[in-house]
Amino acid sequence: MYWGGQNDSDEHTPSNGPQSTPARLDLTRKVLTSTGVTPPGGFEPPTTREREQCVAPGRALPGQASGFHSSLADCVMEMLLRRSSILSKRCIPAVLALPRNLSSLVTGDAAFLEAVDIYYDKAAALASPTPDILAQIKGCNNILKVQFPLKCSDGTVELIEAYRAQHSHHRMPVKGGIRMAPNVDAEETMALAALMTFKCALVDIPFGGAKGGIKIGGNDPYPAKYSTGEKEAIIRRYTSELVKKNFIGPAIDVPAPDYGTGSQEMAWIKDTYEHLQSTDINGTACVTGKPLEEGGIHGRQEATGLGVFFCLREFLDDEGLISKLQMKPGIEGKTIIVQGFGNVGQHTIDCIEDAGGRIIAIAEKDGGVVDETGKGLNIKEVKDYFKRKGTITGFPKGSTVEDSSKILELPCDVLIPAALESQIHSGNASFIQARIIAEAANGPVTPAAEAILEKRGVVILPDLLLNAGGVTVSYFEWLKNLNHIHFGRMSRRMEERGKRVFLEALELEFGNGNRLSDELRRELVKGNTEVDFVWSGLEETMLVAWDKVKAVAAKKGCNFRTAAYLIAIERIATCYKVSGIFP
């Protein structure tokens, strides 16, 4: 039903994408339906009182920036949201999962790509490069869109849409993961590619930024309808499209796992590439995150979570920083909430628990679990339950919360969003009670939410730094593949032999006939394995980058995110300055 009548004039339509009243109403119905809530009064036309409660054309809607010009369509949409009483809670995450150019009309939060640009511009205002170089650094160089048919196991044919964005070629190859999800689009892919550019520059990894996405699953937010054979067909066809367009190769573009993909998908990519490019002797390096048997590297699985832990540990151990929050130094005893129980979330949790932190709640897509003992969840038992049941909801030694978004609002010392982007937004930022947010996911906090949180004194440790552990160890895997030899193979036995000679000399000179125990001797003599090199290199990379971010933030008087972007911008600009611009 069209409600606008003659009053729904275009003169008040927002300039960032006009939407007619029927289109707005259709969007709002989708939002409310996706939350499982039907507003009292349903979707009937607004009453006179409801019209009076809605903002007049030309004024801002709740959660939107001032100056946003609203039409009667906006008022009608707001009315439906008021009826549902979920504008600040269950509605906004659903809206943010809709197409990016529409979601911000409801919530007032920037779309993902826009959010990255906002963070970039904030840092660019403090940077030394000229505007033309800043514009070059900001822009996305290439975006590839492909479509291809998938013959499903039931005999039907489905059209698959996929993307690969190459944000910056200031360093080659470009590097970035591939995600499989229903909400993949060009803007999300470009935003993630931009983050990869700045992330690599921040931690001094010699890659440009890239990202890939395969849109699957229809309207199901967590698709499971594809068989293993169908997923393999999708990945292999996508890889062949990248090969044809020269969008993959050890010296060109090196993918990795992301949301919805893992080591198995990377193995398929490697195999497909090597079949199509059989003369490339370095073909194994065309992708990272592979199984160990296919040229992967020890420690890659834990890398992102371990990187998150290293930076969080350094912040919590800094007496000068932690005292500003009126907290005691150290991770031991701190209460932690983690959103996401996938690879990143689980390994982050493991490191925190080993260091004495207390995991008091875990949020997942289908609900969450909250500790009731006061001692923290027993993570081993949670993992065992998850393996048996495929979910953490119903865990017997904790309280199950069906609406996992509410878990983010519980009191804690540290909140770690390790899921998807835009999970903390203008609708729930005021309810967040954590004193520190450690961004393990990409873009989990919107700019509007960041402003609200910082006014309340919440410290945000940015994704640009915290989740750089994955690409760091991917870099090590790429180097391993190019060298065709694993780390430690040429040195381990030599190290052990040298250590044994040294210990024997000490015992002979100072032992008075006494010898070290066999157990202690084995520990002291042990040479470095591949995982030792990987974790040492990862810790060095993360700590050097953290020290730099901390110093720049103090010097410029900005937050850690702006400092991280600023470091990345300056390094990329220096690359252009030294290398020049071709031709």
Classified as helix, coil or strand, 332 is: coil
Domain annotation covers residue 338: no
Nearest partner of 492 among 539, 537, 533, judged by Cα:
533
pLDDT band of 547, cuts 50, 70, 90:
very high
Q: Are 248 and 286 in contact (CB under 8 A)?
A: yes
What was the pLDDT predicted at 26? 58
Quick: pLDDT tens for 309-360: 999 999 999 999 999 999 999 999 999 999 999 889 999 999 999 999 999 9
Q: Identify the domain containing residue 211 by its residue range.
A: 143-295
Domain annotation covers residue 464: no
Backbone angles phi, psi at 230, to 5 degrees: -70, -40
Point out which residues pair with 150 in neighbouring strands. 158
Residues annotated as catalytic are 211
Give dist(CA 214, CA 367) in Å, integer: 26
Point out which residues pair with 147 in neighbouring strands. 161
Q: Which amino acid is at 134?
A: L
% of the chain exceeding 70 in pLDDT: 80
Tokens of 396: 């017997």
Q: Is the pLDDT of residue 166 over 50?
A: yes
Give dist(CA 53, CA 57) in Å, integer: 12
Quick: pLDDT tens for 395-452: 988 899 988 889 999 999 999 999 888 899 988 999 999 999 999 999 999 999 999 9
Q: Are 199 and 462 in contact (CB under 8 A)?
A: no
What was the pLDDT predicted at 531? 92
Domain annotation covers residue 276: yes
pTM of the model: 0.81
Q: Is the pLDDT of residue 8 over 50?
A: no
pLDDT band of 54, cuts 50, 70, 90:
very low
Give dist(CA 343, CA 582) in Å, integer: 41
Domain annotation covers residue 216: yes
* 71, 72, 91, 102, 548 from 24: Cα distances, Å: 11, 10, 15, 9, 46
Pairing of strands 142-151, 253-257: unpaired
pLDDT band of 112, cuts 50, 70, 90:
confident
Classified as helix, coil or strand, 123 is: helix
Question: Where do we find the tokens 């367009």?
Answer: 245
Domain annotation covers residue 133: no
Domain annotation covers residue 263: yes
Quick: pLDDT tens for 516-525: 888 998 889 9
Q: Which amino acid is at 562?
A: T
Q: Cβ contacts of residue 329 below 8 Å, gap of 6+?
A: 316, 317, 318, 319, 322, 323
Sheet containing strand 414-417, edge to edge, reads 398-401, 367-371, 358-364, 335-339, 414-417, 436-438, 459-461
Considering 22-36, 188-202, 498-512, the range whose residues carry the highest mean pLDDT is 188-202
Q: Is the pLDDT of residue 264 over 80?
A: yes
Backbone angles phi, psi at 38, to 5 degrees: -105, 120
Give dist(CA 27, CA 547) in Å, integer: 45
Residue 540 CB neighbour total at 10 angstroms? 12
Supply the Cα-derived Rg of the chain in whole angstroms.
26
Angle between helices 100-107 and 21-35 (to 10 degrees): 80
Quick: pLDDT tens for 357-373: 999 999 998 899 999 88
Domain annotation covers residue 245: yes
Give dist(CA 74, CA 104) in Å, integer: 12
- Looking at the structure of the chain, the number of domains it has is 1
Q: Are 472 and 205 in contact (CB under 8 A)?
A: yes
Nearest partner of 288 among 454, 474, 158, judged by Cα:
474
Length of the chain: 583
Angle between helices 100-107 and 186-202 (to 10 degrees): 90
Report the pLDDT averaged over residues 488-516: 89
What was the pLDDT predicted at 435? 96
* 79, 187, 469, 490 from 426: Cα distances, Å: 19, 21, 28, 54
Give dist(CA 21, CA 76) in Å, integer: 8
* CA angle 235–340–313, rounded 5-degree value: 115
Q: Is the pLDDT of residue 290 over 80?
A: yes
What was the pLDDT predicted at 33? 56
pLDDT band of 70, cuts 50, 70, 90:
very low
Tokens of 545: 């980058």
Q: What is the CATH number of the domain that holds 232?
A: 3.40.50.10860
| 3-state secondary structure labels for all residues of 378-431 | CHHHHHHHHHHHCCCCCCCCEEEECCHHHHHHCCCCEEEECCCCCCECCCCHHH
pLDDT band of 206, cuts 50, 70, 90:
very high
Question: Where do we find the tokens 């707001």?
Answer: 78
Report the pLDDT averaged over residues 214-242: 83
Higher pLDDT, 234 or 36: 234
Give dist(CA 449, CA 454) in Å, integer: 9
What was the pLDDT predicted at 7? 34
Q: Is the pLDDT of residue 222 over 50?
A: no
Q: Is the pLDDT of residue 481 over 50?
A: yes
pLDDT band of 5, cuts 50, 70, 90:
very low
Q: Is the pLDDT of residue 477 over 80?
A: yes
What was the pLDDT predicted at 372? 87
Q: Is the pLDDT of residue 97 over 90?
A: no
What was the pLDDT predicted at 143? 96
Nearest partner of 180 among 420, 424, 392, judged by Cα:
420
Report the pLDDT averaged over residues 456-475: 95
Q: What is the mean pLDDT of the chain?
A: 84
What was the pLDDT predicted at 420? 83
Domain annotation covers residue 388: no
Question: Where do we find the tokens 């960032």?
Answer: 16
* 32, 34, 117, 148 from 27: Cα distances, Å: 9, 11, 25, 28
Q: Is the pLDDT of residue 303 over 80?
A: yes
Give dist(CA 572, CA 198) in Å, integer: 8
